[in-house]
Chains A and B, each alone.
Chain A
């Protein structure tokens, strides 16, 4: 398979940062120890995990002891919701635009789903109405994975304090971390989930912040690692890689926002100008800098993605189900986008490695592909 000419699917996953790879390699080779042991080889691994924990805590605005390393964002979300419900009873309330890791976990826990406005921001009145004494955890993401909309977490927290003071707030910050100062913005949340591969770290590792005083029951039982909150031998290389990627992300975040935000604006404006009838989903000001979500009425995303793939552009639309088929987006449905328009959408997500050339290529081939599908 030929290498793609433009990768604009950073919301799906990102390439590994060189800093992460360099940090990981020793732990895939000579430093192979199990951090739970007591000898020299173990101690080297333990020190690396301890250092990573400090880095992650700083990047997420918590104490090192509040970081629980997990096998990714999905596990972190599930641990937050199921872990709290197992300890406190009650149920979950989440927004309708959550990632499936939260949405399906909420459904499995018999929870309730709160609608969003047309811009994709959670409806605070509806949230207040949905909360009562039976809700033990509220989950509202910091930034959405499909349309990039940022949620007003402080306002959400105020509603929770007022309408369900017994409940804790969880936020899925998986998509937010590359772009937003999660250490500050997620302060109102008692639980915060992140995933390394969305910001240049490796796949299969993530973290959940569990602030002091919050007790979560473990999903996995075993050796009692992570203070009995997540058993299983540490993924040392993954944890080290995540920490390195976090450090690099935080250091470059302002510059990345400025540079990539300008690229995103050029891309979105260019496509809106070049494609007749193109519509941007939601308000640009409300979203993270890497996110560009457009709809091209009259075409089918599924066919568009094939043509873009043929032309060397990696993009996405909605989310894929187990078979790999594209599913109509629950996020767009929650925002009130008609189904046929939702099925005509394209998500272009930029990242720290995105170049001018990639944007130029997208500005050339997306209009061509849309025109071809429309028979123009």
Chain B
């Protein structure tokens, strides 16, 4: 097969490329340039592109750089900023997977005559009866099926995830034994366009303008202020006051009114989480309402039981509130069923 491997310059995609070469595929590597100038850090810095190029050379495969900065800005960065201005907290890495890796990159691969693309995600694609399934990676601690949960048959039929069958330790071991220069490179942690020094504040401030907000209790009485209401996420404790008596959490955020309502941990518990109807996607067809599912609502969160009810998940046991805009991924065991975005709290049926 002719396979175009998305090589970020990290160890996982390096080993993905190595495994495909070893399996005899006709492999070409490509690094997406998504963000930033010459001196940037993050997942597509010049140093990372150089790492990818070196590994490609070590493997004897051709390497290209694709400049997708326009698309990344339009499909990921601008919506991320706009969402904050509306009080939602999206996961930009998921949107990057949705719009860049498994759309723009896949389309480029098609045009260039590749049969499939591959990435270094820790998840598994399995096939049977002409249908494709998405499963958790072999390494539970590194599983990334959550950030791929919005993929459907159209993508999965053309996607290879070679490292999903390995643990991270095995990936690093392989990289080391092959002498790949990315073998000991630390995992990327942060959103690539948010710097560790400036944080979300430095990024969002110039884009959307941050405004101070009032912090009120359930009765509407003001109990404090926050410097930037757009940066407050539902469930957040930091900056919400409380102190000695009872811990206070942001239970809802109204950006338009520049108001954060705080409450106790108990106030954050919901019996259900509504989703935005047009955000629902299925790996292999919809799940019938009433179906028991396992539900994961953050990249490293636990999957907890509930029931899919068509436009919401009803939890078996009350769960901590899901911030609007977060991805709600549905599983059957280790198999991804589908995904949707958590709706604004006001639209829940509570």
Report A's interface with B, CB cutoff 8 A.
300, 302-303, 306-307, 310, 321-327, 372-373
Contact = CB atoms under 8 A, between A and B. Distances in A.
B38 A321 contact: yes
Contacts of B111: 303, 372-373
Interface string B101-119: 0000000100111000000
A216 B31 CA distance: 42
B57 to A, nearest CB: 11
Interface string B23-37: 000000001010001
B46 A323 contact: yes
Contact of A306 (B45, B64, B67): B64
By DSSP majority rule, is chain B's interface helix, strand, loop, or mixed? mixed
A340 to B, nearest CB: 9
Contacts of A373: 111
Interface residues of B, number: 18
Nearest to B53: A324
Interface in B78-120: 108, 111-113
Contacts of B108: 300, 302-303
B112 A306 contact: yes
Given A302-B67, A306-B64, A323 B112 contact: no
Nearest to B30: A306
9 contacts: A303-B108, A321-B67, A322-B38, A323-B33, A323-B38, A323-B44, A323-B65, A325-B69, A326-B67
Nearest to B112: A306
A323 B112 CA distance: 21
B66 interface: yes
Contacts of B38: 321-323
A311 to B, nearest CB: 11
A300 B37 CA distance: 21
Contacts of B31: 323
B67 A322 contact: no
A302 B66 contact: yes
A325 B53 CA distance: 12
A307 B112 contact: yes
Contacts, number: 41
B49 interface: yes
Nearest to A375: B111
A323 B8 CA distance: 12
B112 A327 contact: no
Given A302-B66, A323-B44, A325-B33, 13 more contacts: A302-B67, A303-B108, A303-B111, A306-B64, A306-B112, A321-B37, A322-B37, A325-B49, A325-B65, A325-B67, A326-B65, A326-B67, A372-B111
Q: Which of A310, A324, A326, A373 has the most CB of B within 10 A?
A: A324
Nearest to A374: B111
B105 to A, nearest CB: 11
Contacts of A324: 49, 53, 65
Contacts of B113: 372
Contacts of B46: 322-323
Contacts of B49: 323-325
Contacts of A303: 108, 111-112
Nearest to B107: A303
Nearest to A322: B38
A327 B67 contact: yes
Interface string B168-209: 000000000000000000000000000000000000000000
A373 B110 CA distance: 9
Contacts of A302: 66-67, 108
Contacts of A372: 111, 113
Nearest to B32: A325
B287 to A, nearest CB: 35
Contacts of A321: 33, 37-38, 67
